[in-house]
């Protein structure tokens, strides 16, 4: 079986030996990974990682909680990175109202600006949304014309009802390790209700380990087979069929995967 991790963070100090990590994850059948930028320096870092490893791709963009040094002029630098042959999306971008000092206006402005950039470059977007369901839904509904190249709600955590509405608008959804826990009722319900052709697997490494690795850090793309098996079980299909569908979904959304 072939597996893919569409959202992980392999930059930074959490992974001391990426050579060894790529050997291990390939041994698990994880043939492709997308490592994500959260600001300008990390977007550069993940580009360099993608250049070093076969089967590794990247995204470039500003995460909503990483806007301290954000300037509108930085978008041209993101655009330059996004033109790289292995940059498959603008991301991760979105809204995050978790922290009390959140500048909601700045987050919304940066989010919409990056949606416009993705549209200009004919790229999909990877979207982060935490504690921001109403505003996120409103922005996506108001900007559907900017999403014609595809959009992914990574680690989806909002309601089943909102998920079904977004599915009608063409959204994809990725789920990670938390969906393997029996207590994650909302995520598990979303997985079972959404069409299998709209689902993708992620780890958000080094975060969110699956149930078999509870409490372990760092999480790695090696967790993908367990996450995929959980999706297969919730949908009542065979593991190999599920893995094949997810693989096809990823290549349908991310046109620059090859």
Residue 119, pLDDT > 90, answer: yes
Confidence of residue 184 (pLDDT cuts 50, 70, 90): very high
What pLDDT does residue 142 have?
Answer: 97
pLDDT, average across residues 172-177? 98
Cα separation of 86 and 179, whole Å?
28
Exposed/middle/buried for residue 119 (C-beta within 10 Å: 0-12, 13-18, 19+): middle
Question: Crossing angle, helix 133-142 and helix 104-121, to 10 degrees?
Answer: 40
pLDDT, average across residues 192-198? 98
Instruction: Find the distance separating the first CA and the last CA of the chain, reported in whole Å.
Output: 17
- The pLDDT tens digits of the residues spanning 42-77 come to 999 999 999 999 999 999 999 999 999 999 899 999
- The pLDDT tens digits of the residues spanning 201-241 come to 999 999 999 999 999 999 999 999 999 999 999 999 999 99
Between the CA atoms of 153, 154, 156 and 157, what dihedral angle is there, to the nearest 10 degrees?
A: -120
Residue 16, pLDDT > 90, answer: no
What percent of the chain is modeled with pLDDT above 90? Answer: 97
What pLDDT does residue 117 have?
Answer: 98
Whether residue 190 contacts residue 173, with contact meaning beta carbons closer than 8 Å, is answered with yes
Whether residue 87 contacts residue 60, with contact meaning beta carbons closer than 8 Å, is answered with yes
Length of the chain: 258
pLDDT, average across residues 187-192? 97
What pLDDT does residue 86 have?
Answer: 98
Cα separation of 34 and 88, whole Å?
8
Average pLDDT, the chain: 97
Q: At 148, list the tokens.
A: 């014609």
Residue 137, pLDDT > 90, answer: yes
Rounded alpha-carbon distances, angstroms, from residue 225 to 22, 27, 176? 15, 11, 11
Q: Which of 31-35, 170-174, 212-216 has the lowest mean pLDDT?
A: 212-216
Rg value, the chain, Cα:
17
Residue 23, pLDDT > 90, answer: yes
What pLDDT does residue 12 have?
Answer: 84
Cα separation of 39 and 181, whole Å?
31
Confidence of residue 160 (pLDDT cuts 50, 70, 90): very high
- The pLDDT tens digits of the residues spanning 227-237 come to 999 999 999 99
Per residue, the 3-state secondary structure of the chain, as one string, reads CCEEEEEECCCCCCCCCHHHHHHHHHHCCEEEEEEECCCHHHHHHHHHHHHHCCCEEEEECCCCCCCCCCCCCHHHHHHHHHCCCCEEEEEEEEEECCCCCCCHHHHHHHHHHHHHHHHHHCCCEEEEEECCHHHHHHHHHHCHHHCCCCEEEECCCCCHHHHHHHHHCCCEEEECHHHHCCCCHHHHHHHHHCCHHHEEECCCCCCCCCHHHCCCCCCCHHHHHHHHHHHHHHHCCCHHHHHHHHHHHHHHHCCCCC
What pLDDT does residue 153 have?
Answer: 98
Residue 255, pLDDT > 90, answer: yes
Residue 157, pLDDT > 90, answer: yes
Sign of CA dihedral 140, 252, 192, 130: negative
Confidence of residue 13 (pLDDT cuts 50, 70, 90): confident
């Amino acid at each position: 079986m072939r597996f893919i991790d569409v959202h992980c963070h392999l930059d930074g100090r959490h992974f001391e030996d990426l050579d060894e990590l790529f050997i291990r994850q390939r041994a698990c059948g994880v043939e492709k990974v997308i490592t994500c930028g959260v600001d300008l320096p990390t977007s550069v870092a993940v580009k360099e990682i993608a250049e070093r490893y076969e089967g590794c791709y990247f995204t470039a963009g500003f995460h909503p909680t990483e806007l301290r040094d954000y300037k509108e002029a930085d978008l041209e630098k993101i655009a330059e990175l996004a033109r790289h042959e292995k940059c498959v999306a603008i991301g991760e971008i979105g809204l995050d109202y978790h922290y009390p000092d959140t500048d909601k206006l700045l987050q919304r402005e940066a989010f919409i600006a990056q949606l416009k950039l993705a549209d200009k470059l004919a790229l999909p977007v990877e979207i982060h949304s935490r504690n921001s369901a109403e505003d996120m839904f409103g922005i996506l509904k108001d900007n559907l014309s900017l999403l014609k190249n595809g959009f992914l709600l990574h680690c989806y955590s909002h309601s089943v009802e909102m998920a079904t509405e977004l599915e009608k608008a063409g959204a994809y959804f990725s789920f990670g390790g938390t969906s393997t826990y029996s207590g994650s009722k909302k995520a598990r319900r979303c997985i079972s209700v959404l069409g299998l052709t709209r689902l993708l697997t992620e780890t958000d490494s080094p975060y969110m380990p699956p149930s078999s690795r509870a409490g372990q850090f760092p999480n790695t793309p090696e967790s993908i087979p367990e996450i995929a098996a959980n999706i297969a079980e919730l949908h009542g299909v065979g593991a190999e069929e599920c893995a094949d569908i997810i693989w096809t979904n990823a290549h349908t959304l991310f046109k620059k995967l090859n």
